Amino acid sequence: MHKQQTQITGALAVIRNLSFVIVLAFYGCNKTPDPAPKDDTQTVTVLPKHEVIYEVNVRNFSPQGNFAGVTAEIPRLKDLGIDILWLMPVHPIGVQNRTGTKGSPYSVKNYLEINPDFGTAEDLKILVTSAHQNKIKVLIDWVANHTAWDNVWVNEHIDYYATINGQRPATPAGQNWTDVVQLDYTNANLRTAMADAMKYWVQEFGIDGFRCDYVSGVPVSFWQQAKSAIDPADTLIWLAESDSPQYMNVFDYDYAWGFSDKLNLFGENKNVSALKNACLALFNNTNYANKSKMVYITNHDLNAYDGTEFTRFGANVFTMTVLFFTIYDMPLIYNGQELGINKSMGLFDVNKVPWTSVNQKMKTLVKNMIDLKHSQPALENGQHRGSLTFYNTDKNTDILSYSRKKENNDVLIILNLSGNAVKFKFDENAPNGTFSDWLSSNESTLEFSANTEITIAANGYQIWVKN
- φ/ψ of 249, rounded to 5, equals -80, -10
CB 401 within 8 A of CB 414: yes
Q: 121-133 and 188-205 helices cross at what angle (nearest 10)?
A: 60
Q: Does residue 229 have a pLDDT over 60? A: yes
Q: Is the per-residue pLDDT at 46 higher than 70?
A: no
Q: What is the pLDDT of residues 359-373, one digit of tens each?
A: 999 999 999 999 999
Q: Which of 401, 435, 425 is nearest to 323 (CA)?
A: 401
pLDDT at 55 exceeding the cut of 90: yes
Output the pLDDT for position 173: 86
Question: Among candidates 349, 237, 268, 342, which has minimal Cα distance to 298?
Answer: 342
Mean pLDDT of 191-195: 98
Distance (Å, rounded) from C-alpha 266 to C-alpha 324?
13
Q: What is the pLDDT of residues 363-417, one digit of tens each?
A: 999 999 999 999 999 999 999 999 999 999 987 789 999 999 999 999 999 999 9
Confidence band, pLDDT 50/70/90 cuts, at residue 6: very low
Query: Does the structure show a pLDDT above 50 at 109?
Result: yes
Torsion angle (degrees, nearest 10) of CA 32, 38, 44, 48: -60
What's the pLDDT band for 175 if we cut at 50, 70, 90?
Answer: confident
Helix (H, G, I), strand (E, B) or coil at 164: strand
Residue 140 has pLDDT above 80, yes or no: yes
Beta-sheet pairing, 387-391 with 330-334: unpaired
Contact 82, 52 (CB under 8 A): yes
Please give the pLDDT value at position 1.
Answer: 55
3 state SS of 408? coil
The predicted pLDDT at position 25 comes to 33
DSSP character string of 76-120: HHHHHT--EEEE---SPBP-TT--TTT--TTSBS-TTS--GGG--
In this structure, what are the phi and psi dihedrals at residue 159, rounded to the nearest 5 degrees? -70, -15
The mean pLDDT value for 242-246 works out to 94
In the predicted model, is pLDDT for residue 13 greater than 60?
no
pLDDT in tens, 312-349: 999 999 999 999 999 999 999 999 999 999 999 999 99
pLDDT at 456 > cutoff 50: yes
Are 128 and 181 spatial neighbours (Cβ–Cβ below 8 Å)? no
Q: How many other C-beta atoms can be found within 10 angstroms of the C-beta atom of residue 432?
A: 14
pLDDT at 390 (0 to 100): 97
Determine the pLDDT at residue 34: 31
pLDDT at 160: 98
Residue 467 pLDDT level (bands cut at 50, 70, 90): confident
pLDDT at residue 48 is higher than 80: no
Average pLDDT of 443-464? 94
The rounded mean pLDDT for the chain is 90
Question: Does the pLDDT value for residue 33 go beyond 90?
Answer: no
Q: What is the pLDDT of residues 271-287, one digit of tens each?
A: 999 999 999 999 999 99
pTM of the model: 0.89
Backbone angles phi, psi at 85, to 5 degrees: -110, 120
Structural domains of the chain, ranges and CATH numbers in brackets = 3-384 (3.20.20.80), 387-466 (2.60.40.1180)
Residue 100 in this model has a pLDDT that exceeds 80: yes
Query: Are the C-beta atoms of 180 and 89 separated by less than 8 Å?
Result: no
Q: What pLDDT score does 381 carry?
A: 95
Three-class SS state of 287: helix
Across the range 159-171, mean pLDDT stands at 96
Q: How many residues does the structure list for the chain? A: 467
Contacts of 219 (CB under 8 A, 6+ apart): 185
Q: Does residue 169 have a cis bond before it (omega within 30 degrees)?
A: yes
Q: What pLDDT score does 35 carry?
A: 32
Please state whether beta strands 53-56 and 399-406 pair in parallel, antiparallel, or not at all (unpaired).
unpaired
